[in-house]
Structure 1
Amino acid sequence: MTAKKRSSRDSEAELELVDSDVSDVETMTSWQERTIERRLSAARARALARSSRFLATALELVEESGRADFTIQTLIDRSNLSLRAFYQHFAGKEELLLALYENATSQFIEAIRHEVAAADGPMERLEAFCRGFLSRAERSEAVGGRVMTIYNLSLEIERPADFAKIWEPHQKLLTQILTSCQRAGLIRTDMSPTQLTTLLNSTLIALAQIGVFHLGVKGAELTEDQLWAWCKQALMPPDGTTKRKSTPAKRATKRTAPSKSTGKPKKLTG
């Protein structure tokens, strides 16, 4: 019995020592985590600075040549960074171009978001969105817009998941605007906001491509006002146009009424 009591006491003592060691480890872990976090934060900042430098250099090369056929060595020489540093941040040129496209798209969407936020009502926000998209797409030709548009098309076909993820904020913003317009009774309700988003977004992209690549018929250039009017008319309720068309017929009937007092009615055929 005495041996059993001693063994149980020894076990309890060992557990106390283990608990003590665990508490010491927990105390050490807290300051170690802070130390590691500081080091990781510094490393993260350096990584972002270097990757941003690579992206800025890549954009310069695209703007200068109007193409994306530069080599990695050209990028390294221009950025004054090492080849090792490049592969620490990117798996290859394709990943660099994806990051460049994602960065440009993010800035594009954020600029439109600011203009939408400054507009007063639902329809004004929709107009700000459409005009912001069309005007920026046209101006982007001077900053590698042709290359980005070509990459946009290839990305949508070859990597649809990445394409959808990058443009998701854009789609959500447009759906929110169209939902508020629909609730206010300003646009058609025979289609859902999601369906209208798909149609309007496809229209805007097509119109933007016409502007960037100059695909329109010569002498038939379209202004931003005309493009917005086209988009707006497509969103109008179908029954709205019917009511407007029926109004002149009533007026014509009233104007022809006095002719009864002049004598026999005129024949409509010979």
Structure 2
Amino acid sequence: MSTTSEEPAWKQRAVERSTRAAKLRAEQRVERFLDAAQAIIMEKGTTDFTVQEVVDRSRQSLRSFYQHFDGKHELLLALFEDALQRATEQIRAAASGRPDPLDRLKVAVQLLFELSRPDPDAQRPLFTDFAPQLLLSHPAEVKAAHAPLLALFTELMAQAEDAGRLRGSIKPRRAAALVMQTIMFIAQSNDVSEDGTAHPITADEAWDFCAIGVTRT
């Protein structure tokens, strides 16, 4: 005689339906908090705001906020990860239109350079204020946030390797990490001098420099 205590199918369906509904409501509440924080950042041009401001703007409760986030740091981290994910999707879309794997890599490198460089007309405090602090205080979180972007560049490097265009002495993932760090550092420190005499590095120059290091001659 069977002694299984499996729940009836109707009850399983009811529980699953309830769980899906609860998950959807939670996702909607999180999005409202993120949208509110993003709007405040755009208005102020800084990440200097309070949790209460976010709660008031989202028209939700403080209790609800702390059900989803440990605090302001985790909220900013979520916004930072979301911005990096969107940048990754933008780079993937731009690179996918090129049939040659080296051209795809070139497009990705140049677009990453443009997205990483300081823009006085675009307020990006998540990258100019929050990210440098995060790198010093929580390097593991920075690494995790950049994981999708690293995965994309590793994929592009692997495609170049399969086509015989990558140096045999360097592995795709390592090459991807080196190129990403080089490009972002150059772009973020690529300021124009006050007297206008400096000649900022271009995306083409950045690609040419990296290409020497990772591609076959």
TM-score interval for Structure 1 and Structure 2 normalised by the shorter chain: 0.7 to 0.9
Q: Among residues 119, 126, 131, which one is paired with 1:147 in the alignment?
A: 126
Check 1:140–1:58 CA distance in 2 against 1; reply closer, same or farther (3 A cut). farther
Measure the CA separation in 2 of the matches of 1:153 and 1:192: 28
Q: Aligned partners of 1:193, 1:216: CA distance in 2, in Å?
A: 36
2:115 aligned partner: 136
Aligned-partner residue type, residue 19 of structure 2:
L
Per the normalisation by structure 1, the TM-score is: 0.70
The corresponding residue for 1:204 is: 183
> Normalized against structure 2, the TM-score is what?
0.85
Are the equivalent residues in 1 in contact too, given 2:117–2:189 (CA < 8 A)? no
CA displacement, residues 172-216 of structure 1 (integer Å, 9 cap, x when unaligned)? 2212222332343334333332332232111111023125xx366
Distance of 1:210 and 1:103 partners within structure 2: 23
State the partner residue of 1:26: 6
Are the aligned partners of 1:115 and 1:128 in contact in 2 as well (CA < 8 Å)?
Answer: yes
Larger Rg: 1
**1:147-168, CA deviations, whole angstroms, 9 ceiling, x for partnerless residues?**
3243223333322332222222
- Map 1:219-234 to 2 at 5 A: 219-234=198-213
Aligned-partner Cα distance in 1 for 2:34–2:99: 36
Q: Flag the 1:172–1:27 CA change in 2: closer, same or farther, 3 A.
A: closer
1:40 Cα deviation after fit: 1.4
Match of 2:30 among 25, 42, 51: 51
**In 2, Cα distance between equivalents of 1:143 and 1:94:** 23
| Cα shift at 1:58 | 0.8
TM alignment of 1:91-102, pairs within 5 A:
91-102=70-81
Counterpart residue type for residue 224 of structure 1: A
- The reply on whether 1:195 has 2:191 as its aligned counterpart is no
Structure with greater proportional helix content: 1
Residue 4 of structure 1 corresponds to none
Among 94, 100, 115, which residue is 1:115 paired with? 94
CA RMSD of superposed structures (Å): 2.5
What corresponds to 2:67 in structure 1? 88
Cα 1:181/1:26, change in 2 over 3 Å: closer
Give unpaired runs (5+ residues) of structure 1. 1-15, 241-270
Percent of residue pairs identical:
31
Query: Unmatched 5+ residue regions in structure 2?
Result: none
User: Contact conserved, 1:66 with 1:147, CA < 8 A, in 2?
Assistant: no
Q: CA deviation at 1:125?
A: 0.8
Cα distance, 1:236 vs. partner? Answer: 4.2
Hey, what does 2:56 align to over in structure 1?
A: 77
User: What letter is aligned with 1:221?
Assistant: P
Distance 1:159 1:124 in 2: 35
- Partners of 1:63 and 1:142 within 8 A in 2: no
Give distance in 2, aligned partners of 1:36 and 1:140: 50
Task: Please tell me whether the aligned partners of residues 47 and 125 of structure 2 are also in contact (alpha carbons under 8 angstroms).
Answer: no
Q: Residue 127 of structure 1 contacts residue 228 of structure 1 at CA under 8 Å; is this kept in 2?
A: yes
| Count of matched residue pairs | 215
Counterpart contact for 2:117–2:184, Cα < 8 Å: no
Matched residues in 1 for 2:50 and 2:121: separation? 22
Change (3 A) 1:40 1:140: farther
> Distance in 1 between the 2:167 and 2:136 partners?
31
What is the CA distance between 1:44 and its match in structure 2? Answer: 0.9
